[in-house]
Amino acid sequence: MNLTRELAVQWARRGIRVNALCPGWFHTEMTQEMFDDESAMRWIRRNTPMGRPGELEELDGALLFLASDASTYVTGAVLLVDGGWTAR
């Protein structure tokens, strides 16, 4: 997060925006082992305020926002897509 902020400050005057997308638990190759383990899934459901892992398509809106003209005045932002994980 701090690297995102620092790079955003350094590159802003050159017209380059630097933001971070911080996903919570999503089923990917990296998390396959955890998703295959029922006790790990119970832990994710119990500890994520929304009570479930994310679906990959739930990242689409956040990614589109950061890549679009809707975010032309956004830099140094950390966008959490984590089902409330960091809010608890």
Confidence of residue 60 (pLDDT cuts 50, 70, 90): very high
Q: How many domains does the chain have?
A: 1
Report the C-alpha gap between 4 and 23 in whole angstroms: 15
Q: Could you report the per-residue pLDDT of 5-56, keeping only the tens digit for each?
A: 999 999 999 999 999 999 999 999 999 999 999 999 999 999 999 999 999 9
CATH classification of the domain holding 75: 3.40.50.720
* Residues 10, 78: Cα–Cα separation, whole Å: 16
Parent domain of 22? 2-87
pTM of the model: 0.87
Per-residue confidence (pLDDT) for residue 39, from 0 to 100? 98
